Amino acid sequence: MSAQYLLSILLLTAMLLVVSPASVVSQGPTGGGGGSVPTEAVGGASLIFRKPQNPALHSGSATSPSSAGGGRLSGSAKARAAAAEAHERVIAKGNAARSAATPRYSEAEQQYKLAALQDPNDARAHAGLGNVYLDQSRYNEAVTAYSQALKVRADYIPAYQPLAYSLARLDRFPEATETLNQALEYDPNNAEIYNNLAFAYVHAGRYEEAIKAGQQAITLLGQTGQAYKQELQIRNEVLSNAYKNLGNAYNGLKQYNEAADALKHATEIEPNNAAAHFNLGLALHSGGRYSEAIEAYKAVIKLRPELAGAHFNLGLSYAAINDKEGVKQEYDILKKLNAGMAAQLQSLMQK
């Protein structure tokens, strides 16, 4: 069996580590909103995704509509004030419907659409509509809504990351990178944005730029002494993902030693992350460091004993150092987990 074929099998089996978005969100942080949703097939790196907050209400309107002190207002001023208060109430209704214990998405969509009709230049109305679509995985509609929010107000920061996330879920990675770079113009020290930019660059095949973005995320997270102040971020979550994205970028350039170094950092930060250990195994095997790859795959198996891909790749690494007993051991396990992979390992034992 050729080395090229072995490597292709390694990459294919990495696909087995994809975790369903729903399961990860349920394990993610609640409080500040959302969790992270992995879509990376090789290595478990992911976009940092946090459920967008509802559009902020303007004070003195929907919450306290009659609290304007001072002198008398003219008739036209009163009409404008009344219209503004009515507009805020519509947005407030949309927020309430989306945030209900059982979200009422149809109602929220209706209210945000009404708000957009009342004031087409209110970015909040369009972003609120985008949030409703994003919550329901209606990504094409979310892209349209968030794009409109940024069209009417380019500095509306809350729309950028949800827009980039929606684009990434549609595999529109070049547009996602453009969106995230625009976000950095308004929020230049946000480590999450740099992490997500690294992820999007990797998927766009722009590995050199992915490396720079990943390294910048790590710098902002305090690895070079800079204070970490992003209150909505969970530091280790972002840092681990930054190292995984950095490792994937180096893998894309076939710089396997650098990839392994980055991925080792990820495993140290999140020692129970099977995907990080798995991709570390890939980088080590690709770099010819088979004994180390064996240890990485053993770490995966300790965390995920029934993961057939880890047993298969461990068998391949044993085969690379001519450890036939090790290959046979993984073959015996794979017979129960995945007959097809077991058959492929058996062909190695017969050589």
- Measured in whole angstroms, the distance separating CA 239 from the mean position of its chain's CA atoms is 13
Q: Domain tally for the chain?
A: 1
**Is the residue at 255 inside a domain?**
no
CATH number of the CATH domain containing 140 = 1.25.40.10
**Is the residue at 119 inside a domain?**
yes
**Is the residue at 193 inside a domain?**
no
- pTM attached to this predicted model: 0.79
**223-248 tens-digit pLDDT:** 654 444 444 347 788 888 899 999 99
Lowest mean pLDDT among 22-31, 174-183, 317-326: 22-31
**Is the residue at 244 inside a domain?**
no
Average pLDDT over residues 273-278: 90
Q: Which residue is associated with the tokens 């009344």?
A: 82
**Is the residue at 245 inside a domain?**
no
**Is the residue at 156 inside a domain?**
yes
Strand partners of residue 47: 37
Distance separating alpha carbons of residues 186 and 244, to the nearest angstrom: 26
Distance separating alpha carbons of residues 222 and 225, to the nearest angstrom: 5
**Is the residue at 222 inside a domain?**
no
The domain containing residue 117 runs over which residues? 51-64+79-170
pLDDT of residue 45: 63
Is the distance from CB of 134 to CB of 162 less than 8 angstroms? yes
**Is the residue at 59 inside a domain?**
yes
Give me the chain's average pLDDT, please. 83
